[in-house]
Amino acid sequence: MDITTPYYEDLTRISNSNICWFLKKGPRYLKEMLDGKEGLKASFLDKGTMIHEYILQPDKFWKDYIILDFAVPKVKQQKTLLEFYSAARLVDPLASEDHILLMSYEAAYNNNKSEEKKIQEAKELVELYQNYIEYFRNKDSKKVISFADFNMLKTIKKNMEDHKKANELLFNYPETFEVYNEFHINWEYPNASTLGDLPCKSLLDKVMIDHTNKKIILVDIKTTADVYNFKHSIEEFDYCRQLAYYWLAIHWYFKNELKLNIEEYEYETYIIAVQSHDGYEVRVFKFNPETIEERLVTIDYAIKRIAWHKNNDLWDHMKEYYDEDGAEMIC
């Protein structure tokens, strides 16, 4: 299985989100998504990504984020001095400290103070704002989050640890489980059209596989505005279809990568829902396998329609428009 192209950059494969937007907005919108012209904006994804990384990939979180919990320069000249200092240190690492301090000061201020005084004042600013300098050096490679955001993440994790089922699924599972967090599977939907299979992709929050006891657990983390009305979110966003799509990916993975018969395994499916505000309360929902399997019909319909549009390169209307006289039968 080739996953060298990052999940969100691979526009050649069909995701659950693609199916969602095809069903909601039609083939033309999907074509714009596949061409990279439409899709979820980064701001929409940021909070969920931040929570997922903090809980599921803590090492990656600290590589990707920096917390803005330090003093920042109060005036423009201070900012100019510190940023010049940071850049000069990288450009000329062999230069003396006093030389860089003097250049940094003179890049920001224009006065008649002695060189000794300039160096001293620059040194004091560099020492005071050392964390800001570190932030400036890494700002292009790391995302900045506030201390309030970090407190939110710590509260969410503690609530998950205090919830007996969430704790079991995320942190204290049996050692017999192999655990895959943010599990990227590139897979093929079989016989999607007369031209064969359709390339698909899935990014699963957490998959746990126990080969000893023949058990697979799929876990998805969702944020929600109302954790006590989460059933509405399940219906509105068709999470059962999403989970069914993930299970198709797991089935393909077992058959084609592990060379194992998945029918020998017991399945469990959970969503861990987190309130997106106030106390960040956590609830865990277990899904009936039959409820998930019912959504396979919708997936099959969408996949085969998408394959038809791709094969024929016709995107302005639904398939029925092209098959008939332009009228689409509704009932």
For the stretch 70-107, pLDDT in tens is 788 889 999 999 999 999 988 888 899 999 999 999 99
Average pLDDT of the residues in 55-69: 89
Does the residue 61 lie in any domain? no
Contact predicate 221/171, CB 8 Å: no
Does the residue 286 lie in any domain? yes
Average pLDDT of the residues in 244-266: 98
Is it the case that residue 152 has pLDDT exceeding 90? yes
Residues 314 and 194 in one domain: yes
Residues 169 and 121 in one domain: no
Taken in order 185, 191, 197, 199, the sign of the CA dihedral is: negative
What pLDDT score was predicted for residue 40? 53
Q: Which domain holds residue 211?
A: 164-323
What pLDDT score was predicted for residue 43? 44
Strands 196-210 and 178-193 come out as: antiparallel
- Give the model's confidence band at 44: pLDDT under 50 very low, under 70 low, under 90 confident, else very high: very low
Is it the case that residue 42 has pLDDT exceeding 50? no
Residues 78 and 201 in one domain: no
- AA identity, residue 212: T
pTM of the model: 0.82
Closest listed residue to residue 272, CA positions, set 260, 261, 280, 264: 280
Does the residue 231 lie in any domain? yes
Longest C-alpha distance within the chain, in Å?
A: 87
Count of the separate structural domains present in the chain: 2
Residues 312 and 258 in one domain: yes
Residue-wise DSSP of 249-306: HHHHHIIIII---GGGSEEEEEEEEEESSTT--EEEEE--HHHHHTTHHHHHHHHHHH
Residues 173 and 317 in one domain: yes
Does the residue 289 lie in any domain? yes
Does the residue 40 lie in any domain? no
Residues 278 and 218 in one domain: yes
CA 74 to chain centre: 34
CATH of the domain at 218: 3.90.320.10
Average pLDDT of the residues in 200-222: 98
For the stretch 172-183, pLDDT in tens is 999 999 999 999
For residue 162, the SS3 value is helix
Residues 121 and 169 in one domain: no
